[in-house]
Amino acid sequence: MKLSRIHSDPVLDFYAADLATSLELPLFATGVSAGFPSPAEDYVEIALDLNKELIKHPAATFYARVKGSSMIDAGIEDGDLLVIDKALEPKDGDIAVCFIDGEFTVKRLSVRDDGFSLVPANTEFKPIKITEKNDFLVWGIVAYVIHKPR
């Protein structure tokens, strides 16, 4: 997966999805136990191409690298890579990349009878109430988060 930077922002660096290459990696068909270890079994390897797995709408998919900590309780940390799908319809509870008053941010969408808010996943940050005075756009929905565990 080659990343070509298309925009830099204080919160996110944006990259275009390059699907010109294919890299098939082995995938263990039996899965990996996250509970008790299972007895050794014969397994069959199948090929997996991450471009095909992670990108459902190639013309509408972008990547962004996260800067900051407002979404750490959602498992999104500084330096993580987001796979953003602009073709997905936003709905309540989605994590989205939004453009508000000239800046990008990544937050959880909250749609209520009394209005619309962008909710961080870190108690050190406050929700952002969207009003008609805001220049606002849901730019895309976070489809995947690529996160290094260490």
Report, as residue numbers or ranges, the catalytic residues.
Answer: 70, 107
Nearest to 138 by CA among 76, 70, 79, 91: 91
The DSSP line for 113-149 is TTEEEEE-SSTTS--EEE-TTS-EEEEEEEEEEE---
Element (DSSP H or E) covering residue 54: helix 50-54
